Structure 1
Amino acid sequence: MRKILGKLLALLLFVPMLLGVFGSCDKTPPKTGTLMDFVPEGASVVFKISNFENLQADIEANSLLSKFEKTAPYSYFAEKKVLLKNLHPASQSLLCINKVNDSTSAYTFISKQTKNLFQPDSLKNKTIETLQFDEQSFQRITVDRGLPAAGTEIAYSAIIDSVFVLSSSQQILQDILKGRTERDETFKKVFNLPSSNGCTALLRGNTIALNDSTKINFTSWSALDVAIAPESFTAIGITLATDTIPQLLNVFEGQVPQQNDVAALVPTDALGAVSFTFNDAETFQKKLRAFRGEKETVKTTGIFGSASEVGNIQLKNGNAIFIKSIDASLTNDALARYLTSHSIFREIEISSFGEPQLFKQTFSPLINSETASYVFQLENFFVFTENESTAEELISSFQNNNTLKNTSYFENTAKDLSTASSLLIYKMQGAFSEAISGFFNSNSGADIKNISFGEFPLAALQFSFDRNFAHLTLSCKEAGATAKSVSAKVSEKFNISLESPLLNAPQLIESNNGSSNVAVQDIANTLYFISGSGKILWTKKLGAPILGEIETVEIAGGGNKQIAFATSDAFYILDRNGKDAKGFPIKFKDKVTQPLSVFDYDNNRNYRFVIVQGKEVLMYDKNGKAVKGFGFNRAKSNIVQSPVHIRMGNKDYIVVAEENGKLNILSRVGKSRVSVSKSFNFSEIPVAEEDNTFVVITKENTKERISQDGKVSSQKLDVGSNYWFAILGNTKVTLDDNLLRINGKLAELPLGLYTRPEIFNISRNSYITITETQEKKVFVFDKNGELLNGFPVYGTSAASMGAASPKNLVVKGDAKNVVYYSIN
């Protein structure tokens, strides 16, 4: 399909070669003769140009066309500028391009003869000869460019019925004099179509290549009004096919164009995609068989009877075929006899497909693949791939919303396109050079391939059949300011599968060099430490599950970080190689009942580690020694939360919540610092600090505020049973069912079941992560309540963020999988 796009772009890109050639024009109508009657036979493109001044300014400012400045087509016309710059048409003019051979093209200029159109007297170093041909005279104009290396320039001119014709080919001019001009009836139709632009390109269909292999006839002639803006290149018009020879466009006759939704499936790093639609699968397949010249009746499969859109996606490492079904259950039933269950990826079943040749048999030449041996379903799409890794790539991109539909440049391009069409072609990643190069002469191919189109992430070509013709739209736009202002983009860096299912959510751990590693434990109690590139650095068998989160500490200084955590029977500090720090682990006979608390009162790494065993509180230093002088060793009832360190002004407080409702607010040495007379029915929400008060959220959803002198004020919250409250620094987050509030700003989430929101301070910014566990979507918001671009992404657990650059996020995928994302 890219050959179609290549041809249109290539032919249209001849437009800028005309810059500086013609002067302005007026509205003087021709007296005799019709310009169309002098178009040379076999012209591949004919430009109808009315306003040269506007066209010149537009092309000079266009960032796409300017890239062809040094290619052979530009230099070809530059060499002829001595003649062409002396043409000053006063009315509409035509410029026709004929292909002479594989490496040479010829131009023919046609316009109404006026006094100042061509003034050869102004030419220097010229020779003008009058030649005779069949009793008709014409002129050969030779211009010496003045430099030995520049050579001479030759063109041939004649005035026929008050029409001036200038051609770089003597043979073409002689053919015009003999009346050998373009007589195709379809050409006459497109030539006489009204034009609303200063430049209209008439393109001959010719033989094109689909799927980089089979050459076929697609259409006869197209008429496109070209619009050129500084950051975009668009063309809108119609294309006509003929009934005298088979042309692929005609297979869409009688089909009502359907909505193209492939953009929701195409990964952002794909190279391109093709989508074609139909509303009558049986008739469409019959027309394709007729186009292929097949006379025998072939029974059509029911797989496509419930389809409205089919096509293929070109990826860097493989290709895929897709079907969009209007009734997924019917398509599933039709596919069932061809499928064998193969694997599960992210809870999506991937099956082996037993009839990979079916697509070529049914849709050739639109689809010629015979290697799509795997299939899976994403909503109403059924996707067939050549290998399992391509299937996993497409599933990941779809679940992460990392698809073309979710990009700003697609939104910008979609404004030019119809939502429904017969045939839609996307070229992505600026991958135009290879497609275009074949349509320039052989000497320029290398130059074209070396041009970078990276700032043009998407080009779209669309055909919509309508009665006996099709509407045609071509759009290619620079990414521009909209895409450049995107705040974040998410890419999946790795997806690693462990030997056993994960026991808890994976956690990002900052390493010594500022990068992020991952720590996660599986159900066999094995702790994994994984690098940011997905390599398992080490594993350690633990005797029990880790309680709560893993803490990062630096007990020895020198920038060497360790990880600290507690299990039900031990307290561990491990270095980055998984080795126990000196004095650790500390083993316990009695059960540890709360996650490890780590206090660093003065931010000087003089850590205090707090272990809770029921009613008892044990405090250790960084050497694993019990801290003497801490006066709070035992509570009157079981401790229901990990002790918390809170600093208000220049005072430190240690807060311990008991099962009997007592709130202990202690000093560093464990003595009571604030006396609280009221008892509380503590929930799982940790005691926090807000506006220099201690905040308790009770099981009855009452917000209790305790001042530093022990006074209590209560506020009944009008919230649901799943309410959560979190505060970190200046960022406060609440969740009430699907109502997420960040610093008071409401971010209403889709209805679902959500993990508790978590706050991460990264580079003086705050980010909030939350996961919907039914739809398996991870959301990340900034402190202003704005969802980061690229989210939600796929995930099944609470997500952890890291401060490395770029920012990273890790989350559980399938039961055994750790998924690591990079946020740019």
Structure 2
Amino acid sequence: MGKFQGKLFTLLLFIPIILGIFGSCDKTPPKTGTLMDFVPENASVVFKISNFENLQADIENNSLLSKFGKTSPYSFFSEKAVLLKNLHPTTQSLFCINEVNDSVSAYTFISKQTKNLFQTDSLKNRIIETLTLDGQSLQRITIDKEIAYTAIIDSVFVVSSSQQLLQDILKRKTERDETFKKVFNLPSSNGFTALVRGSKVTLNDSTKVNFTSWSALDIAIAPESFIATGITLATDSIPQLLNVFEDQVPQQNDVSALVPTDALGAVSFTFNDAERFQKNLRNFRGEKETLQTTGIFGSVSEVGSIKLKTETAIFIKSIDASLTSDVLARYVSAKSEFREIKISSFSEPQLFRQTFSPFINSEKANYVFQVDNFFVFTESEITAQQIISDFQNNNTLKNTSYFENTAPDLSTASSLLIFKMKGDFSEVISGFFNSKSKSEIKNIAFDEFPLAALQFSYDRNFAHLTLSCKEGGGTAKSISGTVTEKFSLKLESAVLGTPQLIEGHKESGNVVAQDMGNKLYFISDSGKILWTKKLGAAILGKIEEVEISGSKHIAFATKDAFHILDRNGKDAKGFPIKFKDNVTQPLSVFDYDNNRNYRFVIVQGKEMLLYDKNGKTVKGFSFNKAKSNIAQSSVHIRMGNKDYIVVAEESGMLNILSRVGKSRISISNNFNFSEIPIAEEDNTFVVITKENTKERITQDGKVSSQKLDVGSNYWFTILGNTKVTLDDNKLRINGKLVELPLGLYTRPQLFNVSRNSYITITETQEKKVYVFDKDGSILNGFPVYGTSAATMGESNGKNAKSIVVKGDADIIILYSSS
């Protein structure tokens, strides 16, 4: 792979490292309070950050970034940046990186000035000096020998590690590039965006080339991955390599079917008009004469290179293999045959460099062979034989679990696609860091990151850009059809209850489970235990997901406490709440208006306690105590524009209340409540009794009864427009009968995943997990192995689903289905 690709890949791939590393001048004054107008001139990277503290937590949990703790840039920002750690912005902030010289970088932090943004009173070992330079006033702050410079300009707080940068900002020497302004103002759906200056990148030892001007990337950092998506812009004022794809329609990239699994990387670029593409490249190189390229590429749509351990191979993919073979015939002569594939010598080894430089610079295309629609050119016969063997044995990138995990992030067609494999990042990374860090980088192992992909898809005068880098997981294996076992994880002791899937980061979910030792586990979707927490008792019922101050949390009750934890396992402020009397029902969570103004319901025998998200008792709720013990977790049901809180008592009394706890519907009947939760169906309340009668209650309090002709294990559940019942082995989904094999089944569970409804049910004797859609059809690849009820959630990729279930007593299994 050429150094061009390596340098470009570095610039984008290691944006998060800079972060973990915790981000033409005129005299026009900046607009008051506009953060963009304070970005220092010639910044190489500008990060737009919505939640600074959450971002720091994400970085600490990222397994790739954690490897850089001892390198010079990382340690400069993470270990020595005491000042940065004491910044608490409540609004959007900018973090800018400027390259002062080849080995030194400086940061600038910009945010609206707020009351508690930066408080120095509590800091020890601090020295604050006021400097007046060129009529401008700024502060020099020294904390534990770290020096930074601050100023407040037009209600904007600016801090920089460089005095010169801050002085320049005070003098209005800030970033004025029009393309930068365009990417800065692009809409973003993410809380963390990187704006990257394209600038010049190294192609060869002595050649540099402009690729693009600015890129805007929305970045998602998960514990074992980071994914960036956005656009990159080129200008017409100076030659930039991105523009060679002008007027070219991105074609399908099939190189993954050819790349051996032990390769170190690959590059693929595509075009639909070979003549125009070559002309664009010649114009970019400044060549006036038309080079005769023998017409080989007229029937070609994809070209690229594959970096192997000992050499680099070149490939072309033809849309008409027989035509390409005929054109090549005059330049080849038969050399040998390997596994019925002819290997020929090639008389024009310099052709690819002449035609496709700077994408391809090799002049050693000495041999050629054909497999399917690919024509592959190698330096040696031995390499040709190795590629043929791997191709015939399906030992290629396309057939790996880690490519399958990455592929959903990528488009099937693109202008330029770059793969980095086998953790072969050292050369790329050392090109980014200063020379002092190169030896440190070489000692870092990236074996758990088998694949990183960078993709550009040209579209008019810009390109869509995607970057994906993930841990391999190593344990993923194909089960059947479209089901993959992502991990099988052994806990310290037997699993207690049912493991759950909860929403995690943007691209994946997390698994939560408790063991018999009452230890709570928070597990990534690749099977890595992110944290554990020892609890004093078993969790009652299911864990609930809530969002507090823009961050995901989990909430649950044990017999003696009410917990809310953030996604790093830390207690939310005001929690846990401890109780002297036992909690007797699982936690209920009400969000009446879907505005995250939660009401958390704790039941202790007859008592019903309501708390808000700060752990404070909700005042004004009049139903504090039932006449008898409460039989089920209370339920919130909305019909039309009315809210109902439903509380069932062991005495048979049913309370239907308003938001403030006053009786809303008066019911004289008593019911022998079963374990089936009270639900809403067709604008009526539905109670399934222990005698298997179905009681319907209207909003005006009228009750009608229906005797059900069902067995003792009958179950009823409803979610939205999907209703499911189970009677022995008869499963009905929206009235459609699915006869299951005779056996012992868990209660069916309903889930909404990617706007579709699914039903899970497990046969516990044969240990088979079934998943059905709302039409009653079993999903391809099921049943799979499992011993408990199964929960579902979203997984990586389009329409992908995750299913978590208990295996053996102390084993948790996560499946992915597409």
TM range (shorter): 0.5 to 0.7
Report whether the alignment pairs 1:350 with 2:343: yes
Counterpart amino acid of 2:88? H
Equivalent residue for 2:464, pick from 445, 452, 471: 471
- 1:135 paired residue number: 135
Q: CA deviation at 1:457?
A: 0.5
SS of residue matched to 1:298:
coil
Distance in 2 between the 1:55 and 1:124 partners? Answer: 25
Equivalent residue for 1:209, pick from 199, 202, 210: 202
Equivalent residue for 1:195, pick from 188, 193, 208: 188
Distance in 2 between the 1:211 and 1:309 partners? Answer: 23
Distance in 2 between the 1:175 and 1:256 partners? Answer: 44
Equivalent residue for 2:20, pick from 8, 16, 22: 16
Q: CA deviation at 1:52?
A: 2.6
Is the 2:10–2:432 contact (alpha carbons within 8 Å) kept by the matching residues of 1? yes
Q: CA deviation at 1:31?
A: 11
Moved more, 122-131 or 356-365: 122-131
Q: CA deviation at 1:319?
A: 1.3
- 1:51 paired residue number: 51
SS of residue matched to 1:439:
coil
Q: CA deviation at 1:164?
A: 0.8
Report whether the alignment pairs 1:461 with 2:465: no
- 2:315 paired residue number: 322
In 2 relative to 1, CA 31–50 (structure 1 residues): closer, same or farther, beyond 3 Å? Answer: farther
SS of residue matched to 1:120:
coil
Equivalent residue for 2:164, pick from 160, 168, 171: 171
In 2 relative to 1, CA 77–186 (structure 1 residues): closer, same or farther, beyond 3 Å? Answer: same
Distance in 2 between the 1:56 and 1:82 partners? Answer: 13
Distance in 2 between the 1:323 and 1:481 partners? Answer: 31
Distance in 1 between the 2:358 and 2:259 partners? Answer: 21
- 1:81 paired residue number: 81
- 1:427 paired residue number: 420
Which residues of 2 match residues 683-694 of structure 1 at below 5 A?
none
Q: TM-score, normalised by structure 1?
A: 0.56
- 1:103 paired residue number: 103
Distance in 1 between the 2:68 and 2:124 partners? Answer: 29
Is the 2:368–2:378 contact (alpha carbons within 8 Å) kept by the matching residues of 1? yes
In 2 relative to 1, CA 292–208 (structure 1 residues): closer, same or farther, beyond 3 Å? Answer: same
- 1:534 paired residue number: none
In 2 relative to 1, CA 91–253 (structure 1 residues): closer, same or farther, beyond 3 Å? Answer: same
Which residues of 2 match residues 118-517 of structure 1 at below 5 A?
118-143=118-143, 145=144, 152-210=145-203, 214-480=207-473, 482-483=475-476
Q: CA deviation at 1:119?
A: 1.7
Q: Give the percent of matched residue pairs that are identical in Structure 1 and Structure 2.
A: 78
Counterpart amino acid of 1:460? A
Distance in 2 between the 1:214 and 1:384 partners? Answer: 25
Give structure 1 regions of 4+ aligned residues with deviation exceeding 6 angstroms. Answer: 484-487
Counterpart amino acid of 1:415? P
Report whether the alignment pairs 1:114 with 2:118: no
Distance in 2 between the 1:212 and 1:232 partners? Answer: 32
In 2 relative to 1, CA 56–170 (structure 1 residues): closer, same or farther, beyond 3 Å? Answer: closer
Counterpart amino acid of 1:75? S
Counterpart amino acid of 1:381? F
Q: CA deviation at 1:155?
A: 0.9
Which residues of 2 match residues 657-676 of structure 1 at below 5 A?
none
Which residues of 2 match residues 503-542 of structure 1 at below 5 A?
none
Distance in 2 between the 1:486 and 1:246 partners? Answer: 50
Q: CA deviation at 1:442?
A: 2.4
Moved more, 228-237 or 74-83: 74-83
Distance in 2 between the 1:340 and 1:249 partners? Answer: 37
Is the 1:49–1:200 contact (alpha carbons within 8 Å) kept by the matching residues of 2? yes
Q: CA deviation at 1:482?
A: 4.7
Question: 1:687-740: CA deviations, max 9, x gaps?
Answer: xxxxxxxxxxxxxxxxxxxxxxxxxxxxxxxxxxxxxxxxxxxxxxxxxxxxxx
Distance in 1 between the 2:318 and 2:69 partners? Answer: 46
Distance in 2 between the 1:172 and 1:56 partners? Answer: 24
In 2 relative to 1, CA 66–486 (structure 1 residues): closer, same or farther, beyond 3 Å? Answer: farther
Which residues of 2 match residues 562-573 of structure 1 at below 5 A?
none
Question: 1:434-476: CA deviations, max 9, x gaps?
Answer: 2112212222222221111101110000000011100110111
Is the 1:214–1:365 contact (alpha carbons within 8 Å) kept by the matching residues of 2? no
Distance in 2 between the 1:296 and 1:224 partners? Answer: 38
Counterpart amino acid of 1:226? I
SS of residue matched to 2:232:
strand
SS of residue matched to 1:101:
coil
SS of residue matched to 2:409:
coil
5+ residue gaps, structure 2: 24-29, 481-783, 785-818
- 1:94 paired residue number: 94
Q: CA deviation at 1:481?
A: 5.5
Is the 2:52–2:88 contact (alpha carbons within 8 Å) kept by the matching residues of 1? no
Q: CA deviation at 1:51?
A: 1.6
Is the 1:100–1:106 contact (alpha carbons within 8 Å) kept by the matching residues of 2? yes
Question: 1:574-597: CA deviations, max 9, x gaps?
Answer: xxxxxxxxxxxxxxxxxxxxxxxx
Distance in 1 between the 2:274 and 2:6 partners? Answer: 25
SS of residue matched to 1:47:
strand
Counterpart amino acid of 1:100? V
Q: CA deviation at 1:401?
A: 0.7
Counterpart amino acid of 2:250? P
Distance in 2 between the 1:98 and 1:328 partners? Answer: 50
Distance in 2 between the 1:32 and 1:7 partners? Answer: 32
Q: CA deviation at 1:486?
A: 8.9
Is the 2:401–2:477 contact (alpha carbons within 8 Å) kept by the matching residues of 1? no
Distance in 1 between the 2:221 and 2:198 partners? Answer: 23
Report whether the alignment pairs 1:61 with 2:61: yes
Is the 1:159–1:165 contact (alpha carbons within 8 Å) kept by the matching residues of 2? yes
- 2:624 paired residue number: none
Distance in 1 between the 2:61 and 2:205 partners? Answer: 33
5+ residue gaps, structure 1: 20-29, 146-151, 488-783, 785-824
Q: CA deviation at 1:116?
A: 1.3
Is the 1:408–1:482 contact (alpha carbons within 8 Å) kept by the matching residues of 2? no
SS of residue matched to 2:444:
coil
Q: CA deviation at 1:429?
A: 0.5
In 2 relative to 1, CA 136–213 (structure 1 residues): closer, same or farther, beyond 3 Å? Answer: closer
Distance in 1 between the 2:479 and 2:16 partners? Answer: 31
SS of residue matched to 1:56:
helix
Is the 1:357–1:371 contact (alpha carbons within 8 Å) kept by the matching residues of 2? yes
Distance in 1 between the 2:370 and 2:318 partners? Answer: 10
- 2:40 paired residue number: 40
Counterpart amino acid of 2:278? Q
Q: CA deviation at 1:70?
A: 2.0
Q: CA deviation at 1:261?
A: 0.2
Distance in 1 between the 2:205 and 2:272 partners? Answer: 27
SS of residue matched to 1:305:
helix
SS of residue matched to 1:14:
helix
Distance in 2 between the 1:365 and 1:104 partners? Answer: 29
Q: CA deviation at 1:142?
A: 2.1
SS of residue matched to 2:100:
strand
Report whether the alignment pairs 1:2 with 2:10: no
Is the 1:456–1:476 contact (alpha carbons within 8 Å) kept by the matching residues of 2? yes
SS of residue matched to 2:208:
strand
Question: 1:357-405: CA deviations, max 9, x gaps?
Answer: 1111110101111110111100100111111111111111111111001
Is the 2:261–2:395 contact (alpha carbons within 8 Å) kept by the matching residues of 1? yes
Counterpart amino acid of 1:380? N
- Total equivalences in the alignment: 471
In 2 relative to 1, CA 57–36 (structure 1 residues): closer, same or farther, beyond 3 Å? Answer: same
